[in-house]
């Protein structure tokens, strides 16, 4: 017997199950279409980054490191890789403690803030507002933003000039208009 209106059964009818299935199928298909579009944009951005001399694996590694909950695991993995390379004779005299962070805590916090500023994250420190740690993080965030403001446009201009084969022409002393036409009369 199938459930009808007013029936106490909580079982779905075949058509209800079908409707629910296709509801979720449509949502999933929409997500897949959005993913395809995002992946195409990501691939195009990767080609631009490679043309700018960036290694995509390095960018992906940096993203994973920035998003890692436990930064020590990132450092530990790096140290383990260095040790393995030394075992294989590919790096001379690797010292496993060479890359351990010995900077004071406030300096590390400021560096974390700078990375957040460079990555375009919100200016919200994870520390108590007004604390020394908060102030250090915010100083770092401001510095990261300043680096982006001061250098990104110049880097993009140079990159675009190199792509088009143009040279950046710097003006010399003001000797008047170098393209001034003389009267032919």
Q: 117-136 pLDDT, tens per residue?
A: 988 889 999 999 999 999 99
Question: What average pLDDT does the segment 135-161 reach?
Answer: 89
pLDDT at 152: 87
Provide the mean pLDDT of the chain.
Answer: 81
pTM of this structure = 0.55
* Residue 108, C-beta contacts closer than 8 angstroms, at least 6 positions apart: 101
The more confidently predicted of residues 103 and 72 is 72
pLDDT at 30: 95
């Amino acid at each position: 017997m199938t459930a009808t209106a007013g029936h106490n059964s909580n079982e779905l009818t075949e058509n209800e199950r079908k409707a629910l299935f296709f509801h979720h199928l449509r949502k999933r298909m929409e997500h897949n279409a959005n993913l395809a579009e995002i992946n195409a944009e990501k691939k195009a951005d990767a080609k631009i980054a490679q043309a700018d001399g960036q290694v995509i694996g390095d960018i992906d590694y940096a993203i994973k490191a920035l998003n890692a909950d436990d930064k020590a695991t990132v450092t530990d993995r790096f140290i383990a890789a260095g040790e393995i390379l030394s075992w294989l004779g590919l790096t001379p005299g690797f010292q496993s403690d060479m890359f351990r962070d010995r900077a004071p805590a406030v300096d590390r916090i400021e560096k974390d803030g700078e990375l957040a500023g460079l990555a375009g994250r919100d200016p919200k420190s994870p520390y108590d507002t007004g604390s020394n740690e908060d102030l250090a993080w915010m100083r770092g965030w401001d510095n990261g933003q300043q680096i982006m403001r001061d250098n990104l446009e110049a880097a993009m201009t140079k990159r675009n000039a190199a792509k088009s084969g143009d040279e950046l022409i710097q003006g010399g002393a003001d000797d008047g208009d170098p393209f001034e036409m003389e009267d032919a009369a």
